[in-house]
A and B are shown apart, each in its own frame.
Chain A
Amino acid sequence: MEFTFTQQLVQQLINGISLGSIYALIALGYTMVYGIIKLINFAHGDIYMVGAYVAFFATTSLHLPFFPALLLAMLVAAVVGVIIERLAYRPLRYAPRIAVLITAIGVSLLLEYGGILLVSPQPRTFPAVFQAQVYTFGNIVVNSQQILILGVSLALMVILTYVVQRTKIGKAMRAVSFDTDAARLMGIDVDRVISITFAIGSSLAAAAGMLVGVYYNSIDPLMGIMPGLKAFVAAVLGGIGVIPGAMVGGVLMGVIEALVSGFISSTFRDAAAFAILIIILLFKPSGLLGKNVREKV
């Protein structure tokens, strides 16, 4: 089969968008947590791993079909996220930010190596929950998993946007993120809002974990490190703290990665992500959709 340049470009774009929507789901959790408590939740990538494993056991041991397994994974991850926030981050609410960052690194390592201890470091094969179908348009290949990933992530993003923009709790979240002290004075239970933010962010990451499991058919306890870091880069790229920014940043990140691995070399894929991060931080630290905030003395 001959590939022309355009065909390969379109193919890489399709791959990139489906990968990117996974980054976007994870990036949403980063950005929401950062928007509210200014913490880079390093453990977020590992929540995504937890979600993938819950989905794995739900489909293999409990024989649940795709959507119930997805819901279960999201639920368990939400509980884990809330517990982590309660035990590790809440005691440090007024501590210096570096202390919280170190704690987050600790939580992340704990989840990774706790995972290795509990479920063994060997990668596991994710069962095929869907009959994989391949659609070809000319030379361009789209498989049903890619469509599934895109569909589920779009649906979740629509739900999230509705929750944040139209519901009472969404309003509370926006208020806390805008000004925590003022929100507290207005009678908003800030701790509860933070817990709910962690729950929502973690459940989105778990959904991403399950989708990746379905897409790549393989999961392991350290699978969360790289996607976690890249999703963070995506959140920064879109403007950290800005919800639409995380979606745009995630998809963009996926596309860039697919293009780099398609046209340059797949070994440089991971380096590309970090190079983007550094360029963004140096030239537009507020991100593509972020607002500039003046440093106050």
Chain B
Amino acid sequence: MKKNKQMWLSIVACIMVYAAVQALITFDVIGPFWQLNIVLVCINIILAVSLNLINGFTGQFSIGHAGFMAVGAYVSAVLTVKFQFPFIIAILSGASAAGLLGFMIGLPTLRLDGDYLAIATLGLGEIIRITILNIPYVGGASGFMGIPRYTNFTWVFFLTVFTVLFIRNFINSTHGRACISVRENQIAAEAMGVDTTKYKVLAFTIGAAFAGVAGTLFAHYFYIAHPASFTFMKSFDILTIVVLGGLGSISGSITSAILLTFISAALADYPEWRMIIYSLMLIILMIYRPQGLFGNREVSLKFFGKLGGKKRGTTESN
């Protein structure tokens, strides 16, 4: 009963946010610069939440997320440009292609752990990018041009909501619990009968598929898919969002995606300062607050309730 009420509340809240922003866009209150950034916020949320599923919840340190994004972008762009498929099919195919690749890559590489996995995923991301660079059919080094702009606020907003809900429900399901157990202690999880390889690959595949969705949205907003947009610097960007928000916190990822997208928008004229701030933030966070802004907690109505209760409790004891 309570859960239902909460779900309805969040649905109503989502629709209200959507209506408000859409109204602002329709009545031209916010200019193209802010519209662009709102779309970027949503894409970054999809990327960060999906990477958080792999890095934060399952504890498999991947830094090749941009590669899957690239696969989604290019596959969907080929479908819409060369075969005039509708956008929804392009999104689904982009997601499936990225997910399939994630599955094929994940199966062998997820046997590695820790920093080896990090380097392997970094390498795979680069291999994907270099391969795309060498396919003349999709434009090679000059990028894939002439992609129609199908992405608008409605698409990104509802796909973001869908991503967040999907991953949240996944985490709260049996499979999600299994993933978290892999993060907490792989050997113990295995001893309890959790098929660790299966859950690692499952999380990796889902994460990759959503990265593909983000890539599709990205390419169909900027008219172009360019190999230079998907370097490992992009993967580090996503990683920074996830780490700042807290590994294992969906609301943390959302908050920090919003925060960092607007920070980088504000620093658009000084790109090198942006990276310096990002890098200092990573270092300082790791030294002083390695759990990120939110740790692995979630912000919800219940959380605020608890916070209030705690405060009351302390005042009473005083």
Chain A residues near B (Cβ < 8 Å): 39-40, 88, 91-92, 95-103, 105-110, 112-114, 116-117, 121, 229, 232-233, 236, 265, 267-268, 270-271, 273-275, 277-278, 281-282, 285, 297
A204 to B22, CA, bound (A): 57
In the assembled complex, B283 has its CB within 8 A of some CB on chain A: yes
Beta-carbon contact of B130 and A109 below 8 Å: no
The binding surface of chain A is classed by DSSP as helix
The number of A-B residue pairs with CB atoms under 8 Å apart is 116
Query: Which residues of A sit under 8 angstroms from B127, Cβ to Cβ?
Result: 271, 274-275
Residues of B close to A281: CB separation below 8 A: 109, 112, 116, 119-120
Complex formed: what's the CA distance from A164 to B222 in Å? Answer: 54
Select the residue from A88, A92, A107, A109 with max chain B CB neighbours within 10 A. Answer: A109
Query: How many Å lie between the Cα of A199 and that of B298 in the bound state?
Result: 43
Interface string of B120-161 (1 = CB under 8 A from A): 101110110011011000000000000000000000000000
If A101-B115, A101-B118 touch, does A278 touch B236 (CB 8 Å cutoff)?
no
Chain B at the A interface: SS class? helix
Give the distance to chain B from A102, nearest Cβ to Cβ, in Å: 5
B272:A278 contact, CB within 8 angstroms = no
Q: Is the CB of A40 within 8 A of B119?
A: yes
Q: How far is the CB of A49 from chain B (nearest CB, A)?
A: 15
Give the distance in Å from the alpha carbon of A151 to the alpha carbon of B130 in the complex.
34
Report yes or no: B131 in contact with A110, Cβ–Cβ below 8 A. Answer: no
Q: Contacts A110-B276, A270-B130, A271-B127 hold; do A278 and B282 have CB atoms under 8 A apart?
A: no
Q: In the complex, what residue of chain A is closest to B115 when comparing beta carbons?
A: A40
Kindly provide the distance from the CB of B190 to the nearest chain A CB, expressed in whole angstroms.
10
* Residues of A with C-beta under 8 A to B275: 109, 112-113
Taking a contact as CB atoms under 8 Å apart, the answer to whether A277 and B120 are in contact is: yes
Instruction: Give the number of chain B interface residues (Cβ < 8 Å).
Output: 38
Cα distance A76–B149 when bound, in Å? 51
Chain B residues, Cβ within 8 Å of A285: 112, 116
* Residues on the B chain within 8 Å of A232, using CB: 119
Identify the interface centre among A103, A108, A273: most chain B CB within 10 Å of its CB.
A103
Q: Which 8 A-B pairs have the closest CB atoms?
A: A106-B282, A274-B123, A109-B279, A110-B279, A113-B275, A106-B283, A271-B130, A103-B286
Residue in chain B with minimal CB distance to A282: B108
Q: B115, A97: Cβ atoms under 8 Å? A: yes
- In the bound complex, CA of A117 to CA of B131 (Å): 32
Within 258-313 of B, Cβ neighbours of A (below 8 Å) are at: 272-273, 275-276, 278-283, 286-287, 290
Known A-B contacts A270-B130, A281-B112; the reply to A106 vs B279 at CB < 8 A is yes
Give the distance in Å from the alpha carbon of A107 to the alpha carbon of B63 in the complex.
16
Check A103 against B287 for contact (C-beta < 8 Å). yes
A285 to B63, CA, bound (A): 19
